Structure 1
């Protein structure tokens, strides 16, 4: 059809190509508009879900204080913002379709119009007008569908990129070393930035093999984040973390072989014994001694009892003692502890810290409100400050 039309009147093909080219280019210029609209919906949806999660988890507390009426108001406010963002997105999509429609109509009208002018000038036959009309209708109908689909795809470009990055499988380094080879841990110009614009700037810290470090500081100064950076769970925004061997060479430790107790302890639906030994039968004979060291008084029956995640009767302190026993029974060469005794009484904490002080491991432990006697079990204390306060001490 194009060849036939071109032989009849090249201007018909030329005008079709020009308008078609404009139609194809339009999604590129509308891309940012569509992306921003979709991103606003995504942000509003995320905030809405966070609102439900945060307020929903405290619904029982609201009822106890006869303040449950606030819940639907908060949800309504958040949902209205989500609704507004959805309406705005539809407005942008409609606008894009309108602009695309103008070009589509131009193509469907102008090409037959030019053919009509050429007919009255005697340059083409009447059949060419019909051919041009069918040609324009087919071409611009396809371009209409194509351009609208491109607009929809473009609107989710940022989201698809984020999802791709999140689901991308990063190749594991093949040269991971035994953490026992680490002789020095060092942070240099370390900065962690967050999506809300906040950031944490860390002092340069150097920790030698076998040192027991107490990490303290006010809430929000980045203690837990620092440990996650050391473990590779979080990535630095600036600066670097170095693990060095005895030859002063940078190495990549096997993070799976580094001991770590997070604030939220992890217990498995198995016996307390298995939760301590981590299913390593050769450690079974050590369980009783370890339980005594962490001041956890349990009968043989209780040790063999299965922990049920949906009905855990253990106290917060007992849970912490179990995971502490897990680390102590088979200690790793490097251990990071994030407030592991926060739910344990002072006397038991002192006893446990003395046991930890006897471990040959390199240890970094986060803790609050320790007594002078308890602090004395560490080699030194590193105190972190929030941005804007005095410089960090004792590093």
Structure 2
């Protein structure tokens, strides 16, 4: 029996006024896949991520989660990590992670008390240990390195137990050594938490290394007199194995324009 997709785009379009960003997208993603997305700037990668999160709605067509339209606002089923760290500077590492769960369980007060608070703190400490930040438990964000802040942002996203993790160029500002460590961490968390991951990256080799499928966004139609008249689509949808992958020359040229 064929597996029903977790995410499905059906003739999906997105435009802002006369600016067509995405057009004619038809794609299916099963639970547990790791989708990496590359392409030139402005070709709709981050827009698609925002649509998955519920921050943007389709202009036409459908974007479905478990066969139903994606809710038009973020919820706990989808966690996101941006390149710019989404942490609260006046809170410690532990407080930052706990706060995400407090808002989920007590939306109006943003606070938990007594045994409920202790349970969440214990859960947060375990997750902080998983991302390797236990020595920094009581530190504030200004005391953390870039890689540590990104680990904190991932812990904030995972404390809500999302099914889908959305990553928008999360490692672009990190140096190569730290990025390699973050790659191992994300792969470990993807497997342990049984996540479905969508990740935007400008680095083609990173996309091939992390993903189980790599999508290349580009425009199939162009008009030099009206550059915003046509939108991008997925021009390559490549399954990835851990063996060496030969990159098509035209794909390499597309991504080098990033």
Q: Indicate the TM-score class for this superposition, using the shorter chain for normalisation.
A: 0.5 to 0.7
What is residue 261 of structure 1 aligned with on the other side?
81
1:213 aligns with 2:56: no
1:184 aligns with 2:6: yes
Provide the rounded CA distance (Å) in 2 between the counterparts of 1:202 and 1:368: 23
Provide the rounded CA distance (Å) in 2 between the counterparts of 1:193 and 1:290: 39
Deviation at 1:350, TM superposition (A): 2.4
What is residue 384 of structure 1 aligned with on the other side?
217
**Larger RCO (alpha carbons 8 Å, 6+ apart):** 2
CA 1:195–1:202 in structure 2 vs 1: closer, same or farther (change >3 Å)?
same
- Give the count of matched residue pairs: 202
2:29 is paired with a residue whose SS is strand
What is residue 97 of structure 2 aligned with on the other side?
276
Give the number of the structure whose residues are more often helix, by fraction. 1
Provide the rounded CA distance (Å) in 1 between the counterparts of 2:24 and 2:211: 21
1:333 aligns with 2:176: no
Provide the rounded CA distance (Å) in 2 between the counterparts of 1:317 and 1:224: 22
Provide the rounded CA distance (Å) in 2 between the counterparts of 1:371 and 1:281: 42
- 1:343-362 equivalences under 5 Å are 343-344=173-174, 345-358=178-191, 359-362=193-196
1:355 is paired with a residue whose SS is helix
CA 1:356–1:339 in structure 2 vs 1: closer, same or farther (change >3 Å)?
farther
Provide the rounded CA distance (Å) in 2 between the counterparts of 1:335 and 1:329: 12
Q: Judge conservation of contact 1:294–1:348 (CA < 8 Å) in 2.
A: no
Larger radius of gyration: 1
Q: 1:47-80 deviations in whole A, cap 9, x for unaligned?
A: xxxxxxxxxxxxxxxxxxxxxxxxxxxxxxxxxx
Match of 2:68 among 219, 231, 250: 250
**Structure 2, unaligned stretches of length 5 or more?**
103-116, 223-232, 239-258
Deviation at 1:286, TM superposition (A): 5.2
What is residue 113 of structure 2 aligned with on the other side?
none
Deviation at 1:303, TM superposition (A): 2.2
Q: 1:203-241 deviations in whole A, cap 9, x for unaligned?
A: 312111222211222211111100111222112222221
CA 1:362–1:371 in structure 2 vs 1: closer, same or farther (change >3 Å)?
same
CA 1:376–1:357 in structure 2 vs 1: closer, same or farther (change >3 Å)?
farther
Provide the rounded CA distance (Å) in 2 between the counterparts of 1:255 and 1:391: 24
Q: Judge conservation of contact 1:294–1:351 (CA < 8 Å) in 2.
A: no
Give the number of the structure whose residues are more often strand, by fraction. 2
Provide the rounded CA distance (Å) in 2 between the counterparts of 1:306 and 1:315: 11
Provide the rounded CA distance (Å) in 2 between the counterparts of 1:321 and 1:378: 19
RMSD: 3.1
Q: 1:273-318 deviations in whole A, cap 9, x for unaligned?
A: 121233564243455664454455x63xx422345xxxx4544433
What is residue 155 of structure 1 aligned with on the other side?
none
1:394 aligns with 2:237: yes
1:364 aligns with 2:198: yes
Deviation at 1:263, TM superposition (A): 3.6
Moved more, 184-193 or 346-355: 346-355
CA 1:283–1:387 in structure 2 vs 1: closer, same or farther (change >3 Å)?
farther
> Structure 2 length normalisation: TM-score?
0.65
> Structure 1 length normalisation: TM-score?
0.44
